[in-house]
Amino acid sequence: MTEKLIDPQAAVDFMIAKSKAYAIAEANKVYMEELRKTIKAEQMIEAELRDHKTAAMQEREAYAAPKYKEHLKALQQAVEVREELRWMLIAAQARIEVWRSQEASSRAENKATI
């Protein structure tokens, strides 16, 4: 079995290169989560203006509004981008850990054969 050589420096370079994209993705996700509340409040105000008196009626109308549904789709996309980046970064960290283990095993083998 041929082992693929792991370049820990390449993994670190990857993490550095993707850190800004991850930060932006995380910021977008948080923004979208908070904006959802604003959209809901605006939709509830509109429902109140259409004579929906109770908060439950207003909330029902807000959740059913096309603007709210569109926003949920955008939030879904923001989370998808963030999660993809997060798992890519986790994979890069795992590569470094595998490399460390391989190096430790190699050192142990060298000591055993001396």
DSSP labels, 15-84: HHHHHHHHHHHHHHHHHHHHHHHHHHHHHHHHHHHTT--SHHHHHHHHHHSHHHHHHHHHHHHHHHHHHH
In-domain check, residue 7: no
In-domain check, residue 111: no
Task: State the average pLDDT over residues 79-105.
Answer: 93
In-domain check, residue 27: yes
- According to the model, what pLDDT value does residue 114 have? 67
In-domain check, residue 25: yes
**Residue that wins the pLDDT comparison between 5 and 14:** 14
In-domain check, residue 6: no
In-domain check, residue 9: no
pLDDT digits (tens, 9 = 90+) for 10-63: 989 999 999 999 999 999 999 999 999 999 999 999 999 988 889 999 999 999
| Host domain of residue 77 | 19-105
Whether 96 shows a pLDDT value over 70: the answer reads yes
- Structurally, the chain folds into a number of domains equal to 1
In-domain check, residue 113: no
